[in-house]
Every structure is written in structure tokens, then in C-alpha cells.
Structure 1
């Protein structure tokens, strides 16, 4: 399957948004230039999650944005998402790859550990994520990650994603350090004009 290069704004939906408010926000982010949209919601019921995922799949299809589900392979398969993002508590990357198939997008959180990145690459990950890069209101207990991690795993040849506390002002130093993707929640979805904020991130690339 031919896929757009994984480089640019990676929009991650806030837990607080669901239904119409979520769809409008996602449409603005995707229309503004997000290359990936991740649906992350661990608090609502399964029926609402499926409704949201189906709606977001439709939006991302129209916008040409890759659609990823956080940590739920079965939901991703059910709604026809492009792939899944998993963390250390969400199962083995190799098993996720086997379940998803070879064409699905698989992202893996590596926190502050290059060894996890190398293991993820060996298991078939399409991109690896480090963070929290800065203090994060979304995950306040997340341990910090060193900005040098991106350069340390450049030899893997995989896109590298930064996550955690990212703002437009902080973004350039992350890109300069080797981040290919910037995963943003609050600084994007709390903006007065989500589409304009997404465009501002896209211009950095």
C-alpha cells in the first residue's frame, strides 16, 4: 500500500470531546493539515467509541488524513482505521502486527527508551514515539524523555514522533532534533481556531 510520508502534525483527540464537538474539531484539524489523526478515548462506553470512530474515519477519508486508533485493534479493524498506536501496557508489538496485517499502520510508544524503539522496529512498527518531551497536562505523571532520543535511533530509518506538552513555540527545537511527527492534544484542540493552529504546525514542516 502506498502511503504519504509520515511527517507533520499528528493530532490526538482529547478525552473530553465526543459526538458533534469531537467531529467538528477533528474536521478542523484535518482540514488544517494534520497528517495523522489519532482517536484516543479510554473513558466512554464501547457504543459511543464505535460511533465516534466511524465518524472520524469518514472525516479523515475526505481530508486524506491517516486515521489511527489508540490501543484498540478490534475497534480499528471494525471502523476501517489505517492503524493502531500502542503503549507498553497494550500488548506486544509483534502480536499487534500479526493481528493488524502487514498493510496497517502500527505506532509504538517508547517513552524515554531507545531499546524499546529498537524492539518495536524489529517487531514491524511503522513509527516510534518518544515522550513526554515536556510537562503534559494530558498525562501529568508521564516521565520526561530526552530530546536526544530522536538522533539516537535515526539509524532505524523509521519516522520518529514527539509527544507530551508540545506547543507551537517548542515545536521547532523538536523538529531540529529529528522529530518527524509532532503529536499534539491541548495546544491544538484548545486553540480558538483549530484549523489555523493546525496550519501553523504544518508550515513548520
Structure 2
């Protein structure tokens, strides 16, 4: 499948503070069972061996549900685990390095904050999708600079899928989708909820 087919609707991201230790896999399986089809593994604190084990296990879990797993910030981990690709920030080595490591078929996304110029540069280097945010107050990155809704409207012409992130919940997600986002990336809105399956289903019921 192409990035257009994969990066749409709900894009859930794990967080070790919300699903610590042995709770990660059951939480992800619950989300996938409810219909989630795009998942990002994000863990910046665990030992390398733990991260590799968890990533490989999630690759296998996603395969059971015909879902896609991406890795946050670490192209080498994406390669070692067999994930479908990586999501990188502005300080993570750039798209050419990730592409050289992961190959032509890997899915590579780039954080572009609120800057359309960063997105254009990422796409010129070969990014498959771009992400903007934060748009609302964020549990995960409360100090992140706010992005204007207008950047999503500008991004409609970029020719790759556009992801909106930052404080997204089912009540404000329609505003982002209407402005031009193809997908909404959600951490707390899925894995911080008492009923993960219900949270996923609510997001999936939104028009996109």
C-alpha cells in the first residue's frame, strides 16, 4: 500500500508513561482489535534491548491485524525490528539518512511543527508524509510551540499525506480533518483513556 492508503484516519502513538512494562502489548492489541491500523512505537527511555524486543513484538502483533508499525525517531531500530518505517524529527539525521538505512519501500514521516517550509524541504528529500503540531494543549509535550490551523490548509497542496498532532481528541479532531489533515496522531487520547477500544472506535467513527 502507498502512504496515501496507510496514513489516514487515526494514527496512535505509544507512550511508556501510559502503558508501562507489560501493559504495552495488551493495550496495543486492544487498540488494534478495535480497528486501529497505524501505530507508532515511541519509547525514549527504555534500554536498547527492551526497545528492540518491544518493537519486534509489535511488528508481529500489527501483522496479525494487517496494520502498520512505525518507529519514533530511530531508523536503526526500525531496520532492526522489521518495522514498516520511521517517524523522525528535525534533529534525527534527516530523510536521506533514514532512506539509505531503510530502503526505498520504507514509510518515512517528518515532524514539521508549524512550518510549511520544513514540510516542503522534507518532501523534496523524499518524505512520504509530514506532521504538524501541536494544535491543542498537549499532555505529552506541554511546552511544544503551537501550530496555526492555517498550516493544514496550506499543506493541502503538498501532495503527500498530512498528519496533525498535539492534544487531539474526538471533539477537536474534526476541525483538524476539515482543515486538511489526512490523519490525526493521538497518544493520550487513546492510550491514556480508561477504555482504549471505545476511544479507538470513537476516532474511527469520525469522517475523514
The runs of 5 or more residues in structure 2 that have no matched partner are none
Separation of aligned partners in 2, 1:20 and 1:44: 13
1:29 match: secondary structure: helix
2:13 is the counterpart of 1:8 = no
Aligned residues: 205
1:79 to 75, 81, 91: 81
CA shift, 1:20, in A, is 2.5
CA shift, 1:28, in A, is 1.3
Separation of aligned partners in 1, 2:68 and 2:106: 11
CA shift, 1:202, in A, is 0.9
1:114 matched residue in structure 2: 116
CA shift, 1:38, in A, is 0.3
2:155 is the counterpart of 1:159 = no
TM-score of the superposed pair, with normalisation by structure 2: 0.94
Separation of aligned partners in 2, 1:143 and 1:2: 31
Would you say the 8 A contact 1:77–1:100 is kept in 2?
yes
| 1:68-104 residue CA offsets vs partner (Å, 9 max, x unmatched) | 0001111111111000000011111222222211100
Separation of aligned partners in 2, 1:95 and 1:31: 34
2:157 match: secondary structure: helix
| 1:103-132 residue CA offsets vs partner (Å, 9 max, x unmatched) | 000000000100000001111111100001
2:54 matched residue in structure 1: 52
The runs of 5 or more residues in structure 1 that have no matched partner are none
* Structure 1, 24-33 or 122-131: larger mean CA deviation: 24-33
CA shift, 1:5, in A, is 3.8
Separation of aligned partners in 1, 2:79 and 2:97: 15
CA shift, 1:2, in A, is 5.3
1:197 match: secondary structure: helix
